[in-house]
Amino acid sequence: MEKLVLIVKTKTQPGKRDDVYRLFEQYLLPRVQDTDALEMFVWCADESDADTFYIFEIYGDRSIQQVNAKDPAYLAYLQEAQPLLATPPEIMKATPVWIKNVEH
């Protein structure tokens, strides 16, 4: 199966990044930990902008990303997180060519 990389850049309302992270912990962290096909997940706080964060994901099975996007926990997260965002997230999809320490 072809892997999928998602890179998501999100800008929150001023001072709301930590609130969005807590929603991630509440709604999405258990799903992330339990999804074997999600080979890597990194939630990153921007060092120069206190209201921006990035999510980096590597899926071993592209179809799992579509399943996760319809998961009730993800939909609940979106419902609570969206009012805290300054702009819609920027979502980039890519096909990885080489990944250190990950089988292809």
CATH topology for the 4-94 domain:
Alpha-Beta Plaits (3.30.70)
How far is Cα 87 from Cα 94, in angstroms, rounded to an integer? Answer: 22
Q: Record the pTM.
A: 0.91
Spell out the domain ranges in the chain: 4-94
> Which pLDDT does position 99 carry in this prediction?
87
Read off the pLDDT of each residue in 11-15 and give the average, rounded to a whole number: 98
* Token pair for 97: 């060519």
CA angle 22–33–72, rounded 5-degree value: 65
pLDDT digits (tens, 9 = 90+) for 86-103: 999 999 999 999 988 766
Under the banding of pLDDT at 50, 70 and 90, the label for residue 84 is very high
Q: What is the pLDDT of residue 17?
A: 98
Distance CA 10, CA 8 (A): 6
